[in-house]
Amino acid sequence: MEKQVKPKINDIVNEFLDRENLSIALKFLAYLKNNRINTQWTNTNTWKAVKRGVCVCYIKMGIDTIPHSKMQQDLKYNNEYTKGSWVIYPHIESIENGGLCVTAENICIEKREGYEEIISNEKLFNIILSKTRGCLNCGNKKKCAPGITVTFWGKELNNRCQFISTPFVNPNQDELECVITLLNTYCIINGVLE
């Protein structure tokens, strides 16, 4: 059995992304490095970013095929993303640590401590709300479909996936700044910001 390659994200980011996505990803990787946040390969085309033992986000990059890539065999079966696409899944304290209050068909994300600056910034708050995963009617009727109502920091969102997350797919510059603000806030709340 062949040993699976555990690539470093900085070594292969050019194989996954191009143009604007590559530019934004390089800025994000520079932010991680400058803030001593390490990236660790976790699974096929997935890395986690860790600061002092605390995972602050996941990064996923996907392709269909890349000629002459040592990663081609590992990635060609992943059709969720196309070449040039990537996603950041930032951790949010309210979602991660008991900020959810689940009622019949509603989920409330209540815990706001530490996020006051983000909540009061209309631009950042709206970006986060727009990224809260909607229901794709995946057919998982036992779990959630056709979607649930989520109250996220006081704002009601309809037809959302029960598996709450805020994926930033192919983030633009404003969305990247929002992710960085979320990560900095998460680090402060968890006591790992220097």
* In the chain, where the domains are located: 9-91, 95-160
pLDDT of 36 > 80? The answer is yes
pLDDT at 178 (0 to 100): 94
Q: Mean pLDDT over residues 120-143, rounded?
A: 79
Q: Mean pLDDT over residues 104-113, rounded?
A: 58
Q: What is the pLDDT of residues 43-83, one digit of tens each?
A: 888 999 999 999 999 999 874 434 433 333 333 334 445 56
pLDDT at 131 (0 to 100): 85
Strand order in the sheet with 155-160: 100-103, 106-109, 148-152, 155-160
* Residue 17 banded pLDDT, cuts 50, 70, 90: confident
Contact present, 24 and 172 (Cβ < 8 Å): yes
